[in-house]
A and B are shown apart, each in its own frame.
Chain A
Amino acid sequence: MKSLSKIDYLFPKEVIVSVTSRCNLRCRMCDIWKSKKKELTTEIWKRFIDDISAVGVKTIVFSGGEPLLRQDIFELIAYSREKKLNVCLTSNGTLIDNDIADKLLSSGIGVVNISLEGPSEVHNYLRGGGSFEKAVAALEKLRQRGIETTVATVVSRYNYRYLKEVIKFADIYGATTVKFQPFSNLFLEDKTKRDKFFLLPQQCEYLAEIIESVIYISQKRGISTNPPSYLRKMPLYFRKGIRFSKGCKALFYSCPVDSEGNVFPCWMLARKDMLIGNIAQDRFEKLWGSNLHKEIKRKIFSYGCPGCMMSCYDEIFDNRHHNSAKIRKLLGISFYQRKLHNLARMLKSFIYFSILRIRFYTRAKLTFRNKLKRVFTHLKNRKVRINIKIEKKEAERLVKEIEKAKRVLKQYLEES
């Protein structure tokens, strides 16, 4: 945990801001528009932009809902540019006409990220009639004005066959990057809907094949996508889900803020008990690195996070990004030294743990084969995370019951 404490005070590289929860589309895989959250005023956002630029944040991503529904979005973009932040805007593209494209250009936007789910039938089915044509037109208009565009795709059961087509569209309409992200029920109100969008095991095998060709085509056409290791993990995610037993780097690199101004450690943990604070009430530098934030981070690191494959954090899948020069410099060790250090630490804990277990089981008189078997099953089981839902009162009652049962057994031991 030494390294963790060293980078604890680092401010994030990127801030993702959901400026509104309103949206003009009613997509099948997203219920954000239902939440009807309050919105902050322009002044508060401006103060926030001041704050983050002061602490050295590099990028701000305006997201939503549909951020273009906010009247003052161009003002915010221009203000961020003034503060020398890279600005990215995530939109569905349906509102971008010539007028808005001009405004975006004059505000000094860096990148516009347009969502594209596949060919027109699929896109229109998932996002509503006519949305594909508008999104493609938006890409075209932005290209004409020389604004960099990227394409974002949520991979689900409906569109996993058409990932290659998305790359082709991106190439035709001049987008530089395609970001794929597997479906997550994060933005769904009814979490049981998840099964509708998740791929079946047979389809996962097919997805694995498609991904290989996606990697090939993207390299051939010169379009950058997520790191290959990230893409190749996608079938696994659909089959079993991905869990990080020790949290993830996204906790240090990026910071999500919702439309009400609440700051969370990451989008997956955007819930009440993980709330770090509100930017309308506190300054950013106070929230980030506060004791509450540190405690939340430690909690996540010690118990693991629910695990996700949000494409904004895909860097963690690629080790080259993982050990950035800045961190190396901060830690004062070279890349290979750090690698060695990690390996040694892993080995140490593994050996220590095994010896502890073996010593424990040697006390119990078992055969050697059984002892080894136990050690390995224990090591295997250690990775399984169990999510249980239980109320606090009930849990306390159960603990009492268990303690009582243990007392009975211990009494038996003493008597015999």
Chain B
Amino acid sequence: MNKSCLKKFEENLAYHFSEKLNYPFAMPHWIYISLSHRCTYNCQMCGVVKILQGYELPFKIVKDTFDTIAHWRWDCVITLTGGEPFLREDIFKIIEYGVKKKLKIEVISNGALINKGVAEKIIKSGLRNIAISLDGAREETHDHIREKGAFKKAVRALQYLSAAKKQFGRGPQISVWTTIMKENVAELFDIIELVRDIGVECLVYHPVIVAQDDMQNTSPDAPFWVRGDNIRVLKEQIDKIVDYRDKYGLVAFLHDPYLWIKYFENTLTKDDWKCNPFVFINIGPDGEIRSCGSSFGNIKDIGLDACLTTSLADVARAKMKQCTRPCLQTCWARPEADYLDEIVNTFIKDLNQELLPEERKRIVVREALMLLDKYEKLIKNRLSLS
């Protein structure tokens, strides 16, 4: 177990009460930073290239943001994305600074610019995870969605990365991200076979979202939407993938994969999947923090810390809470922090598994009680004031 059970309990409590009391006790776990919206491709399912053209997040702002995040001492994962992050000339400078600050940095790329030299640089950089997007097991599918030659470039990038990792004996986790859509629904399982041979360590699937800006606007009439017969195909594929995962691992599920079917059938409700507005933030290339189309504030103006407590942020979070159609993206939820009973049960379960002397365990439980006391006192104070 990497994280001690008390730390995990503390974080889960913070996320739980942040959501209940509408106050950021918890810092965001996933921080996406779009360095710029420039991209090598103009993919069909992604409209990012067309919005906020010409904006680049300056290195100084990124640096300040990293400083702030390092100061939190919170378990955060920073994902550098774009557009294509490797189009930025200072990308390695940014990664280097983040690693220096002991932050967990990930990069999502399409692999178009990763040649042998870049791959070696990436492996040496101290990244935690490098994710390459791969949308099909066959060349035609991937190239149809993205651009001609994209498949070869992506596969080559993966090969370079795994070769470099073998050479140096260490490096980031190499993972592949696949967007589930109508075009590739029949090939989902085949992707496993393709990437397994290359040396990929993790494969993540996530369903397509239609509107980039406003995620609540997932229209079933949209192109790429899996519907009709394809849903049956998707179900078969999920069965195969789950089966494979149980035997060999490799695939990482961020939620129950059978929710994808509900998602595409438009029957997914709040009860199945709940967003916690305090788990994720997305910083755009203009410095604006946006989530589900609403803005928190601009980090260029007031800094990251202040952005999290603006009145705008309250409004945005309230809007996210009212969302009736969850988008099943990789970011929003913290299902383990939804219910207090579950948090406590998980804590006790984890504690029993830990190899600690009985006396130490009692101390840990007492500290957990103190944490609960803190929140209880806060709420009771509030009650007595009103």
Assembly CA distance A299 to B381 (angstroms): 11
Q: Per-residue CB proximity of B356-386 to A under 8 Å, as 1/0?
A: 0011111101111100110110111111011
Q: Per-residue CB proximity of A184-226 to B under 8 Å, as 1/0?
A: 0000000110110000110000000000000000000000000
Does A343 reach chain B (CB closer than 8 Å)?
Answer: no
The answer to whether A409 touches B369 (Cβ under 8 A) is yes
Does A364 reach chain B (CB closer than 8 Å)?
Answer: yes
Does B44 reach chain A (CB closer than 8 Å)?
Answer: no
Assembly CA distance A386 to B360 (angstroms): 32
B356 CB to nearest chain A CB (Å): 11
The answer to whether A192 touches B365 (Cβ under 8 A) is no
The answer to whether A416 touches B361 (Cβ under 8 A) is yes
A26-34, A123-131, A315-323, A388-396: which lies at the interface: A388-396
The answer to whether B385 touches A299 (Cβ under 8 A) is yes
Assembly CA distance A303 to B380 (angstroms): 12
A102 CB to nearest chain B CB (Å): 47
Q: Per-residue CB proximity of A376-403 to B under 8 Å, as 1/0?
A: 0000000000111110101110110111
Assembly CA distance A192 to B313 (angstroms): 11
Does A404 reach chain B (CB closer than 8 Å)?
Answer: yes
The answer to whether B358 touches A416 (Cβ under 8 A) is yes
Which residue in chain B gives the minimum CB-CB distance to A273? B386
The answer to whether A386 touches B340 (Cβ under 8 A) is no
Assembly CA distance A223 to B273 (angstroms): 64
Assembly CA distance A412 to B365 (angstroms): 8
Does A1 reach chain B (CB closer than 8 Å)?
Answer: no
The answer to whether A399 touches B378 (Cβ under 8 A) is no
The answer to whether B379 touches A390 (Cβ under 8 A) is yes
Does B301 reach chain A (CB closer than 8 Å)?
Answer: yes
CB contact under 8 A between A388 and B385, given known A402-B340, A406-B372: no
The answer to whether B20 touches A394 (Cβ under 8 A) is yes
CB contact under 8 A between A194 and B22, given known A395-B382, A402-B375: no
Does B312 reach chain A (CB closer than 8 Å)?
Answer: yes
Does B348 reach chain A (CB closer than 8 Å)?
Answer: yes
Does B311 reach chain A (CB closer than 8 Å)?
Answer: yes
Q: Which of A195, A388, A403, A408 has the most CB of B within 10 A?
A: A388
Assembly CA distance A267 to B21 (angstroms): 27
Does B303 reach chain A (CB closer than 8 Å)?
Answer: yes
Assembly CA distance A299 to B21 (angstroms): 22
The answer to whether B379 touches A395 (Cβ under 8 A) is yes
A interface residues, how many (CB within 8 angstroms): 35
Question: Chain B contact residues (Cβ within 8 angstroms of A): what range?
Answer: 35 or more
Does B89 reach chain A (CB closer than 8 Å)?
Answer: no
Does A326 reach chain B (CB closer than 8 Å)?
Answer: no
Taking CB atoms, residues of chain B closer than 8 Å to A192 are 311-312, 315
Q: Per-residue CB proximity of B219-257 to A under 8 Å, as 1/0?
A: 000000000000000000000000000000000000000
Assembly CA distance A128 to B185 (angstroms): 62
A186 CB to nearest chain B CB (Å): 15
The answer to whether B344 touches A201 (Cβ under 8 A) is no
Assembly CA distance A191 to B310 (angstroms): 11
The answer to whether B344 touches A408 (Cβ under 8 A) is yes
Assembly CA distance A386 to B375 (angstroms): 11
Does B341 reach chain A (CB closer than 8 Å)?
Answer: yes
Count, A-B residue pairs, CB within 8 A: 94
Q: Per-residue CB proximity of B294-310 to A under 8 Å, as 1/0?
A: 00010001110010001
The answer to whether B367 touches A364 (Cβ under 8 A) is yes
Taking CB atoms, residues of chain A closer than 8 Å to B348 are 408-409, 412
Taking CB atoms, residues of chain B closer than 8 Å to A390 are 20-22, 379, 382
B152 CB to nearest chain A CB (Å): 48
The answer to whether B22 touches A365 (Cβ under 8 A) is no
Interface residue from B301, B363, B372 paired with A409 (Cβ < 8 Å): B372
Q: Which of B345, B365, B379, B386 has the most CB of A within 10 A?
A: B379
Does B258 reach chain A (CB closer than 8 Å)?
Answer: no
Taking CB atoms, residues of chain B closer than 8 Å to A398 are 20-21, 379
The answer to whether B383 touches A392 (Cβ under 8 A) is yes
Taking CB atoms, residues of chain A closer than 8 Å to B345 are 408
Does B59 reach chain A (CB closer than 8 Å)?
Answer: no
Does B23 reach chain A (CB closer than 8 Å)?
Answer: yes
Assembly CA distance A8 to B303 (angstroms): 43
CB contact under 8 A between A303 and B365, given known A200-B301, A388-B21, A388-B23: no
Does A325 reach chain B (CB closer than 8 Å)?
Answer: no
The answer to whether B340 touches A200 (Cβ under 8 A) is no
Does A410 reach chain B (CB closer than 8 Å)?
Answer: yes
The answer to whether A195 touches B344 (Cβ under 8 A) is no
Assembly CA distance A399 to B359 (angstroms): 29
Interface residue from B303, B340, B358, B379 paired with A405 (Cβ < 8 Å): B340
Q: Per-residue CB proximity of B337-354 to A under 8 Å, as 1/0?
A: 000110111001000000
Interface residue from A299, A399, A412, A416 paired with B379 (Cβ < 8 Å): A399
The answer to whether A365 touches B376 (Cβ under 8 A) is no
B353 CB to nearest chain A CB (Å): 14
B312 CB to nearest chain A CB (Å): 7
Interface residue from A388, A392, A399, A410 paired with B376 (Cβ < 8 Å): A399
A261 CB to nearest chain B CB (Å): 25
Taking CB atoms, residues of chain A closer than 8 Å to B22 are 388-390
Interface residue from A303, A366, A386, A405 paired with B372 (Cβ < 8 Å): A405
Assembly CA distance A399 to B21 (angstroms): 12
The answer to whether B365 touches A409 (Cβ under 8 A) is yes
Taking CB atoms, residues of chain B closer than 8 Å to A399 are 376, 379-380, 383
A-B contact pairs, 14 of them (CB 8 A): A195-B312, A201-B302, A364-B366, A365-B360, A366-B363, A388-B23, A396-B383, A398-B20, A399-B376, A405-B344, A409-B369, A409-B372, A413-B362, A413-B366
Other 10 A-B pairs with CB < 8 A, given A392-B383, A408-B341:
A192-B311, A195-B311, A365-B363, A394-B20, A401-B340, A402-B375, A405-B341, A405-B343, A408-B344, A409-B365
Residues of B at the A interface (CB closer than 8 Å) are 20-23, 297, 301-303, 306, 310-312, 315, 340-341, 343-345, 348, 358-363, 365-369, 372-373, 375-376, 378-383, 385-386
Residues of A at the B interface (CB closer than 8 Å) are 191-192, 194-195, 200-201, 273, 299, 303, 364-366, 386-390, 392, 394-396, 398-399, 401-406, 408-410, 412-413, 416
The 7 A-B residue pairs with the shortest CB-CB distance, nearest first, are A388-B21, A405-B344, A402-B376, A192-B311, A388-B23, A401-B340, A364-B363
